[in-house]
Amino acid sequence: MSQSATRAIRAKCLDCSENFKSVAYCPAFECALWPWRFGCGPKSAAHRHGAHVTDPKRMPGGDVDLDELPTSPRDYEPGDPT
């Protein structure tokens, strides 16, 4: 995917979900843009933010309070908070 396309996806996600943190923890795993929400491909996102950010089973769902999560998804421990 071209860099301009990934940038456009990033802009779309920020428009959809307000800020970096809410995009990072976006619980809409079924969204076609979800793997690209960091403005880069899934491999780059995993490298930059941790492998868990590209695996819906290891990310918190929509029922978790965003304020309880670390700002950086790299600091998120899959499975927390309980």
Site residues (vs ligand SF4, CB under 6 A)? 12-13, 16-17, 23, 26, 28, 31, 33-34, 37
Question: CB of residue 16 vs ligand SF4: minimum separation in angstroms?
Answer: 3
Whole-number minimum distance, CB 1 to ligand SF4, in Å?
15
Considering the complex, state which of residue 11 and residue 82 has its C-beta at the smaller distance from ligand SF4. Answer: 11
Sign of the CA dihedral running 16, 21, 27, 32: positive
